[in-house]
Structure 1
Amino acid sequence: MEIPAVNLKAIVFVHWLLTIWGCMASWLPSSYAWGNFTVLALAVWAIVQRDSVDAVLMFLVGMVMTMLMDIIHFGIFYPLADNLTDRTRDTFRFSVGMAILSLLLKPVSCFFVYQMYRERGGDYNVNFGFPGVSRNRDAYQSIDQQDQPLGPANPFGQ
């Protein structure tokens, strides 16, 4: 099964729109908007420089970091909606829904951005430092065949 190609511009547009709507009711601090819009600026950099591996990698790392920060923001700053009027309550619910939808779509976006990173030539392999077993023995040299030195054994001998 082949992974469908998703345009980076579509990912940026969707997250930009959801971030705008998430900030509408002003229940989130300004750090939420600054973090998400900064990552979207990195995405614009990745759009402009089509062959840059660094731009896509920084956008990917930024998306992962904003996922963590969004969870922290929602946990700390989610207010109780007891003292809201009906009109304010509807705006608040819409804003919260869009911010949560943005958070839920970020892992999917990260998957597609990682595929773009691989297409642009990025080859970051996750290695936890555990030694692996390899059956490829082409790089080994046999003990039975020793190379003969080209010059004399004693280079300073006369």
Structure 2
Amino acid sequence: MEIPAINLKAIVLVHWLLAVWGCMAWLPMSFAWGNFSVLAVGLWAIAQRDSIDAVLMFLMGMIVTILTDIIHIGIFYPSSELAGERGRDVLRFSTGMAILNLLLKPASCFFVYQMYRERGGDYNVNFGFPSVSQNRDAYQSIDHQDESSSPANPFNQAQDSKPGVRTY
């Protein structure tokens, strides 16, 4: 099954438009700062087509804003509606666009991850932490006996340079 190619420009444009519309009525400035800063990283990923770091940072930012958008919508959703019919319409439209933006982010993350893979990114994302490797080439077989071991020195301890002198 082949995955359709979605342009990174389209992803950034759609999320920018939905974030602008979501900020129209009631969401705090932290919602705008979080979403628009991640979209700025998306612009960096568009500008540098070969950069694996740019698209990875955009992907991580999108994942983080999924969580922060849920928190913003949950905490800051107004309990009392704005005054007047026009205010209610703007509130409903803004809320709908913020929720649509949130619902589209997992699909966008999937397509951005595919772009990350196309640019040469690995399946395993490495953040610089030490990890256990599955590479078995560096291991020695326990059946193989090293030449330096002998029955007199079974644990391959370093031999003293002067007989009778021990260093601890």
Q: Taking structure 2 as the reference length, what is the TM-score of the superposition?
A: 0.76
Which protein is richer in helix relative to its size? 1
Q: Counterpart of 1:93 in 2: which secondary structure?
A: helix
In 2, Cα distance between equivalents of 1:61 and 1:144? 46
Aligned residues: 146
Q: Which moved more, 1:70-79 or 1:83-92?
A: 83-92
- Inter-CA distance 14–138: structure 2 relative to 1 (3 Å threshold): same
- Inter-CA distance 123–97: structure 2 relative to 1 (3 Å threshold): same
Question: What's 1:151 paired with?
Answer: none
Q: Partner letter of residue 28 of structure 1?
A: L
The question of whether the paired residues in 2 share the 8 Å contact of 1:11 and 1:109 is answered with: yes
1:1-158 equivalence runs, <5 A: 1-25=1-25, 27-125=26-124, 141-142=140-141, 143-144=143-144
The question of whether the paired residues in 1 share the 8 Å contact of 2:27 and 2:76 is answered with: yes
Q: Counterpart of 1:79 in 2: which secondary structure?
A: coil
Structure 1: which 5+ runs fail to align? 149-153
Structure 2: which 5+ runs fail to align? 149-158, 162-168
Q: Taking structure 1 as the reference length, what is the TM-score of the superposition?
A: 0.81
User: For the aligned residues, what is the CA RMSD?
Assistant: 2.8
